[in-house]
Amino acid sequence: MSDLSKNASRLVKNLFSGSETENMIAAGVVRTILSDVTRLYFENKRAKGKGILVFNPEDPENSKYMTVRDLEDDLSVAQEAMEDQTSEMFKRVINFIEAEHDSDLALLAMIQPNEICLHILDPVEVNKKIDEYSHGLIL
């Protein structure tokens, strides 16, 4: 998982800057969301094979699980169109999946307007971070 204090400090402060009760509710919501993401990743991995859960925060309905084969097909199209930047992105995602698919951790890609961020969701580390944030240790 990326360091939330570095990549999303405003979000962390907004989520965990309330009362103790509000922070506990926020922690529960974040845990639920990350648990659902992790569950969806492993259900799809089991059903479709190695891949990555691609989440689009601006359009969550268009989030989906992409297998290595899906990404290789998109890479071929990008290469045919001579889209070097897009081709490199697909290669990086494929290499990331190949390097991490044997781990027991969920692989997540977050689409941003100008980039794609790759994350490894480690449930133990996620819970530690949420505890730190919800108890005001990092803010």
Q: For 51-92, what is each residue's pLDDT tens digit?
A: 999 987 777 778 899 999 999 999 999 999 999 999 999 999
What's this model's pTM, rounded to 2 decimal places? Answer: 0.77
CA distance 47 to 41: 10
User: Which residue range(s) make up the domain with 12?
Assistant: 4-134
Q: Identify the residue whose tokens are 């819970």.
A: 127
CA distance 30 to 42: 18
How many domains, the chain? 1
Query: In the numeric block, which tokens belong to residue 22?
Result: 């509000």
The answer to the question of residue 79 being in a domain is: yes
Pairing of strands 51-55, 116-121: unpaired
The answer to the question of residue 52 being in a domain is: yes
Compute CA distances 120 → 42, 63, 72, whole Å: 13, 17, 21
Query: What was the pLDDT predicted at 33?
Result: 81
H or E, element range at 54: strand 51-55
Q: Identify the residue whose tokens are 């977050």.
A: 110
Q: Identify the residue whose tokens are 């190949």.
A: 98
CA distance 115 to 94: 15
The answer to the question of residue 54 being in a domain is: yes
The answer to the question of residue 139 being in a domain is: no
Query: What was the pLDDT predicted at 110?
Result: 87
Using an 8 Å Cβ cutoff, are 41 and 107 in contact? yes
